[in-house]
Amino acid sequence: MNKDKCCVEGCSNPIKVQTKQLCEMHYTRLRRHGNVHITYKPRRKIRTCAVKNCDLDIKSLGLCHRHYYAYKTSSPDYRKHLDQIVLKTKVIG
Ligand SMILES: [Zn+2]
Ligand SMILES: [Zn+2]
């Protein structure tokens, strides 16, 4: 029995935290995610404004602060216009 290696299968890093029998990497993972098997996925959801050619971050309703403000303060016609854009390009949840 090898007692000085991380208890996670397939991991041969030396144990960092004796009480958990985990290496530093897996212990960090456990603390951070509550699970040693979760890896950080750089799966970045790009959430930008639904308006075409606008790549600002979304504030609300799939719109950036600028377009959201425009939406909130706009005439019904402009709202309709934005509604169509938003519905076409993004699913609002
Ligand atoms: Zn490990
Ligand atoms: Zn925008």
Interval 70-86: pLDDT, tens: 888 888 887 787 777 66
Question: Residue type at 62?
Answer: G
The CA 44 to ligand 1 mean position distance, Å, reads 25
Q: Same structural domain for residues 87 and 73?
A: yes
Same-domain status, 33 and 62? no
Q: Are residues 73 and 51 in the same domain?
A: yes
- Range(s) of the domain holding residue 81: 44-93
State in Å: Cα 76 to ligand 2 middle. 18
Q: Is 49 exposed, middle or buried (0-12, 13-18, 19+ CB in 10 A)?
A: buried
pLDDT in tens, 32-41: 888 888 776 6
Task: List the beta strands (DSSP E) in the chain.
Answer: 15-17, 22-23, 58-60, 63-64
Q: Are 51 and 61 in contact (CB under 8 A)?
A: no
